[in-house]
Amino acid sequence: MARVLILGGYGNFGKRIAENLGKAHPGLELVIAGRSLGRAARLCAELAPSGAARTRFQPARLDIASPDFATQLAALAPTVVIHTSGPFQGQDYRVPRACIRAGAHCIDLADGRRYVCDIRALDDEARARDVLVVSGASSVPGLSSTVIDHFRGDFSHLESIDFAIAPGNKAEVGEATLKGILSYTGHPFPVLIDGHWRARRGWMDARRVDFGDPVGRRWLANIDIPDLELFPERYAGVRSVRFQAGLELPLLHHCMVAMAAATKAGLVADWSPWAAAMLKARQPLMAFGTDTGGMRIELEGRGHDGRPKHLLWTLYAERGVGPYIPTLSAIILANKLLRGELMARGAIPCLGLFDLADFDAQAAPLGIYHRAAP
């Protein structure tokens, strides 16, 4: 009987993964793990009635910072571990190494640039234990690379990738996610622009972009993600890769821009300790804005006729389903491993492991849809 262990299983992303896998695999043992055994047990009780036949939900107290974490994880004997316990910026590889030693596959939702890009350092260890370690199984680079791979064949030469994510203001935001974002707010990171690596600062270079109906125009600013480093390597010949994201309410968005400016000026070194306070202050403002979000990927290059070619792909999530999107790559990969359909082994970023049809099979029932236009 397969056993899936979800680290951070009662968090914003973990609970959605647990809900999905619990319904999809009869007989699955699903371990909801985190630092609070009580919260894990409550989610297990909540999910059990809707689970598939013979699905078992089991709570576990597991702290990745504990000295005996690896021993505790091995005692649970998981088949697959899904790691959602961020922030991943600055996190070491104790979780994937513990999974490798336990002989378990590991999938994470990491968005930390160094964490995802350097995961290949564990490749030999993972291969020796015949397991797969996948980092970045989320909106980026999991979904973003899948979309680009899908349309890459329409270009003889791909020159520019410009993409963005705009969540609705009513979407849930976890403290770990916000800490990760705040850790690089106002700090420089390298971005490929016109064939040269240049420094850009987190939450600066604000611009307003039209995502089309039903999202409309949203403010965006610079975000540091693994794709900025992975895509120039994956898509040979690309000269520019840009990623931005933003907050739906202009007030909140420009507050972030102002915070970035304060860091640039040397007034605040690190905003991440303020994450909990910022989430509390945001609560009254969640009554405003919408529960609709979007993602856009704009590709430019040359078509097979040698002429300039442009393609815009846009994803839409209405009625509050946006927070499911970051979980779908991990769900797809977990399904493939549990069904014996994914034979890759080693430690790799989430690139080229599923296709757009796999994504649609999970997204469409949620009402998530996308369209492409020249």
> Residue 179 domain-assigned?
yes
Q: Is the pLDDT of residue 1 over 80?
A: no
CA-only gyration radius of the chain, Å = 20
Angle of the 144-152 helix axis to the 227-234 helix axis, nearest 10: 20
Range 257-260, long-range pairs (CB < 8 A, 24+ positions)? 257/203, 257/204, 257/206, 257/221, 259/185, 259/186, 259/203, 260/185, 260/186, 260/201, 260/202, 260/203, 260/204, 260/221
> Residue 369 domain-assigned?
no
At 177 the pLDDT is 87
> Residue 134 domain-assigned?
yes
Instruction: Cite the DSSP H helix spans in the chain.
Output: 12-24, 37-47, 69-76, 94-102, 113-117, 123-128, 144-152, 175-183, 227-234, 250-264, 275-282, 325-338, 356-363
Q: Is the pLDDT of residue 136 over 80?
A: yes
Same domain, 328 and 312: no
Read off the pLDDT of each residue in 91-114 and give the average, rounded to a whole number.
Answer: 97
What are the beta bridge partners of residue 157?
302
Same domain, 182 and 291: yes
Same domain, 124 and 170: no
Same domain, 127 and 206: no
Same domain, 174 and 225: yes
Identify the burial level of 160 via C-beta atoms within 10 angstroms of its C-beta, where 0-12 means exposed, 13-18 middle and 19 or more buried: middle
Q: At 8, which CATH number? A: 3.40.50.720
Q: Which residue has the higher pLDDT, 174 or 190?
A: 190
Q: Is the pLDDT of residue 321 over 90?
A: yes
Same domain, 155 and 229: yes
Read off the pLDDT of each residue in 339-358 and give the average, rounded to a whole number.
Answer: 97
Same domain, 8 and 104: yes
> Residue 370 domain-assigned?
no
Same domain, 299 and 353: no
Q: At 198, which CATH number? A: 3.30.360.10
> Residue 94 domain-assigned?
yes
DSSP 285: G
At 332 the pLDDT is 98
Band (pLDDT 50/70/90 cuts) for residue 52 is confident
Band (pLDDT 50/70/90 cuts) for residue 255 is very high
Each residue's pLDDT tens digit, 3-41: 999 999 999 999 999 999 999 999 999 999 999 999 999
At 327 the pLDDT is 98
Band (pLDDT 50/70/90 cuts) for residue 172 is confident
Query: pTM of the full predicted structure?
Result: 0.95
Band (pLDDT 50/70/90 cuts) for residue 186 is very high
> Residue 372 domain-assigned?
no
Same domain, 33 and 164: no
Read off the pLDDT of each residue in 162-179 and give the average, rounded to a whole number.
Answer: 92
> Residue 12 domain-assigned?
yes
> Residue 374 domain-assigned?
no
Same domain, 173 and 275: yes
Identify the burial level of 233 via C-beta atoms within 10 angstroms of its C-beta, where 0-12 means exposed, 13-18 middle and 19 or more buried: exposed
Band (pLDDT 50/70/90 cuts) for residue 203 is very high
Q: Is the pLDDT of residue 90 over 90?
A: no
Closest CA to 202 of 282, 294, 270, 277: 270
Same domain, 171 and 25: no
Read off the pLDDT of each residue in 264-278 and give the average, rounded to a whole number.
Answer: 95
Band (pLDDT 50/70/90 cuts) for residue 151 is very high
Band (pLDDT 50/70/90 cuts) for residue 262 is very high
Same domain, 232 and 328: no
In the chain, the number of structural domains is 2
- Boundaries of domain holding 64: 3-138+323-364
